[in-house]
Structure 1
C-alpha cells in the first residue's frame, strides 16, 4: 500500500466511525474534507497516522495503524479528557 492509499483509507475509516457513533442519520455536515492528518509515518511496510476532525463537537483523536504483513488496519479512538496549561521558566 502506498502512502496516499493509506491516508485515504484512514480518513475514510475515521469518517465512518464518526458518522456511526456521533452523527444523526442523514446528517452530512461532516465529510472527508473535515478529516485531517496531524501526523504520519511509514516504516518498511507499516503506516501510522494521527487524525482528527475539524468539528467542535468531536473531542476525539484517532490513531490509524496499518500492518503491512497482515494487511490489516487498526483504528484507536482517544477522548480528550483535559487540557492543562503550565507556565515554563526559561
Structure 2
C-alpha cells in the first residue's frame, strides 16, 4: 500500500462515517482522489478530495518524528473568479 493509498483510505473512512444515511449515497475508494502530495524526509502531506457533491476537502499529514497522522476536513464555501487583479 502506497502513502497515497493510506491517505485515500483515511479520507474514505472519514467520509463514510459522516455521510447522512438519508442521502442514500455510497462511496468507495474509486470516489477518492489525491489532488496534491509531497514527502519531505520522514514527513508527508496529501490534499485529498472525493466525487461527493458535499464541498469537502481533506488534508492528511504524517509527522514522521512522532509517527502520527492528522486529518483536517474543510468545507468549501465558494469559488469565485476575480476579474480585476491589481496586485
Match of 1:22 in 2: 19
- Consecutive unaligned residues of structure 2, counting only runs of 5 or more, are none
Q: CA deviation at 1:5?
A: 2.8
Q: Does residue 32 in structure 1 map to residue 29 in structure 2?
A: yes
In the TM superposition, residue 66 of structure 1 has moved relative to its aligned partner by: 0.4
- Corresponding residue number in structure 2 for 1:49: 46
Whether 2:76 is the aligned partner of 1:80: answer yes
Q: What is residue 59 of structure 2 aligned with on the other side?
A: 63
Q: CA RMSD in A?
A: 2.1
Per-residue Cα deviation, 1:30-68 (whole angstroms, up to 9, x for no partner): 100110000000110000010000122x21100000011
Structure 1 unaligned residues grouped into runs of 5+:
none
Structure 1 residue runs of 4+, over 2 Å off? none
Shift of 1:28: 6.7
Q: Provide the TM-score with structure 1 as the length reference.
A: 0.82
- How far did residue 29 of structure 1 move? 2.3
Structure-2 separation of matches of 1:5 and 1:79: 26
Name the TM-score, length of structure 2 as normaliser.
0.85
